[in-house]
Amino acid sequence: MIILPAIDIRGGKCVRLFKGNFEQETVFSDFPFEMAKKWESQGGEFLHLVDLDGARAGKPQNLAAVKEILANVKIPAELGGGIRETAHIEEALNLGVSRVILGSVAVKNPELVKESCKNFGGDKVVVGIDAKNGVVAVDGWGVSGDIEAVELALRMRDVGVTTIIYTDIGRDGTLTGVNAEETANIAKKSGLKVIASGGVSSIEDIRLLKQYASDGIEGVIVGKSIYTGALDLSEAIAVAKGGA
């Protein structure tokens, strides 16, 4: 299982939100690339980058910050937030990200997901499924997508997606614990590789997720927990790789 440190970018700065609420923001660094270097130095193998402004605007807004991150680290990164057109995908991949995350567009325009998997390869396209109480939310989590998370995962599998990120938005940024059971449920029912996200609070969450790795949980995104010190990234990586 792999640990993906999250770097959420808003206004060019590294921030964290509480339950995705833009009104409840904490700035952790004015220079996101510095956080990227920090997580890499602690053993991070893959960065999870989110363009928060892009998620609201419907198109990428912080590519300059992303470019600076990529120029300062050697590890790969994925990027999500406002990537809703083929041109956005091409722009991100040309910038150097290893894969793009498609969120709201997976609900609104599944044909684009299908075309993207065909044109760029299934390994370059990850679908982010953000849900609350099992129901998908779109447009920066402000609108219901009127579809259950499991059903969306199945649809994405059918169009060529191999990996999804499942975020329980009721837990994101809360440090209340990861929803391992629902994440594993989606992995088992869809047959897809699933990356868990939302609510990770301590090393116990990493151990819990590790128990479900055989069900298809490939990794976990860690955000607020490593920024506040509630979780030590190096220890989390050691556990994810098989340590106690």
Options 8, 51, 53, 168, the catalytic residue? 8
DSSP helix/strand/coil, 237: helix
Please name every residue paired with 127 in a beta bridge, in sequence order, or none if there are none. Answer: 102, 164
Q: Is 53 a catalytic residue?
A: no
Structure tokens at 233: 């990234």
Q: What tokens appear for 172 in the block?
A: 């994101």
**Residue 60 backbone dihedrals phi, psi, to 5 degrees:** -55, 140
Which residue out of 130, 168, 172, 205 is catalytically annotated? 130
Instruction: From 167, 161, 173, 164, select the one nearest 225 (Cα to Cα).
Output: 173
In the residue annotation, 51 being an active-site residue is answered as no
Residue (of 32, 114, 37, 111) closest to 79 by Cα position = 32
Residue ranges with strand state E in the chain: 2-10, 13-18, 21-29, 47-51, 77-80, 99-102, 125-132, 135-138, 143-148, 163-168, 193-197, 217-222
Q: With beta carbons less than 8 A apart as the criterion, state whether 195 and 220 touch.
A: yes
Q: Which residues contact 21 (CB under 8 A, 6 or more apart)?
A: none
In degrees rounded to 5, what are phi and psi of residue 222? -120, 135
Query: How far apart, in whole angstroms, are the C-alpha atoms of residue 78 and residue 97?
Result: 6
Catalytically active residues are 8, 130
